[in-house]
Amino acid sequence: MEEFRVCPECGYQRGFHVSFRNRKNSYKIIFICPSCGSAYDLNLKTDKIESLNETKINQYKEN
Ligand SMILES: [Zn+2]
């Protein structure tokens, strides 16, 4: 597969939402289909996240 973009479950083609799951010393990066809600694990993890305490930095505005 060249790109992970289409949901294998429902065929949604516009990519995924993302979620971070706390594991022992890292965070798993989970992809969630915005259409059907299926969650996918690409075995991607990071130890670069310090915590899940977010800071709001920007808000998308249409027009
Ligand atoms: Zn889907």
Pick 62 or 32 by higher pLDDT. 32
CATH code of residue 31: 2.20.25
Q: Does residue 59 lie within any of the structural domains?
A: no
Residues with CB under 5 A from ligand 1 (ion): 7, 9-10, 12, 33, 35-36, 38
pLDDT digits (tens, 9 = 90+) for 10-54: 999 999 999 999 998 999 999 999 999 999 999 999 999 988 999
In a domain, residue 18? The reply is yes
In a domain, 55, yes or no: no
36 CA → ligand 1 middle, Å: 4
In a domain, 38, yes or no: yes
Q: What is the average pLDDT across 58-62?
A: 83
Range of the domain at 32: 1-43
Ligand 1: distance of its center to the CA of 56 in Å?
A: 28
So what's the pLDDT on residue 58?
86
How many separate domains does the chain show?
A: 1
14 within domain boundaries:
yes
Half-sphere exposure of 7 (CA within 13 A, CB side): 18
Band of the pLDDT at 1, cuts 50, 70, 90? confident
Judge whether 24 lies within some domain: yes
In a domain, 17, yes or no: yes
7, burial (CB in 10 Å: exposed 0-12, middle 13-18, buried 19+) = buried
